[in-house]
Amino acid sequence: MASPTTLRHAEIAGVGHYVPDRVVKNAELEEMMSTTDAWIQERTGIQERRWFEEGKDTTAGMGAEAARRALANAGLTVDDVQLIVFATLSPDYFFPGSGVLMQRELGMTGNVPALDVRNQCSGFIYGLSVADQFVRTGMYDTVLVVGSEIHSSGLDKTQRGRAVSVIFGDGAGAVVLRPARTEGNGILSTHLHAQGEFAEELIVKEPGSNREDRVNYAIANEQDMYPYMNGQNVFKHAVVRFPQVIKEALDQNNYQPADIDLLIPHQANLRITQYVQQKMGLADDKVFSNIQRYGNTTAASIPIALSEAVAQGRIKRGDLVCLAAFGSGFTWASALIKW
């Protein structure tokens, strides 16, 4: 293990993802939510998403499978992991967090610490930034960063909830962080932001702990247990914050948008991604989108997309890769990586 006084870059040594088997196409939602395939695609770009299967998939379990694949991709085993950073807004239990549940699922020994991150759509980059600091300072050599979500069990699947419910899907992605093998490669910088004044613009409000009887209050206010989104306001802020935080990363490392080999944004809405692409002046082959097949999987969306991009050969050694996210909080973040 490196001396704590030695700063070093961390690199993504392995990637992996898992999505449930159940494919839910827009046609399946048409009667359920009184919507149409054309309406969904026009507003989101989504054609299908994955929904979990009760009794088979859990947030921790999906994360564990993504982690196994990431470790195998890195040529490592669970015995090499020294820290887990687990990002989710949909934990299996109210407490404890899903990080320790995944640790158990993976059969880890040695009391490996598990840290849970609750930053929704920005959760994976927030978690990546935390893990990066541990590797940079030499406290840990091998950190597992996981984003895993089950949205489908908490959606209002009626006409009343369709504007939000058609967007989200389930899945998990994971990366393994290790000290960079090549000088100048790895995570160059991460950039994290939040603006809490807009917390209620994208929210699941209940069950909140600030109720004397939170359970009965939530039952009496059932609609507040479903996601609420002020779509117009979220879009308005997203198309500003995405370019800002991407530019922040590029400026800090003396790069221009033209230097980006691949931008992997949080898969929130294809219209947002396309707006950001146009704003940054990036060609189609410089931006990765898979929201068409998975919908918005929140903390899982960037690691799933990153895993697919690597598998498809869209990223090669030495490429400049930018990750960026915006979502509930409001929170937004970016990471710039020399692969």
- Give the active site residues: 121, 266, 296
Candidates 282, 317, 332, 288; CA nearest to 124 is 332
> What amino acid occupies position 33?
M
CB 188 within 8 A of CB 129: no
Q: Report the phi/psi class of residue 171: left, alpha or beta, with left for phi > 0 and alpha for psi in -120 to 50.
A: left
The answer to whether the CB of 335 falls within 8 A of the CB of 128 is: yes
3-state helix, strand, coil in the chain (%, to 5): 45, 25, 35
β strands within the chain, DSSP E: 10-18, 22-25, 48-51, 83-87, 114-117, 143-149, 171-179, 186-194, 202-203, 228-229, 262-265, 320-327, 331-338
- Which two three-digit tokens encode residue 165? 């419910």
The encoded tokens of residue 256 equal 């221009």
Q: At what angle are helices 270-280 and 231-252 packed, to 10 degrees?
A: 40
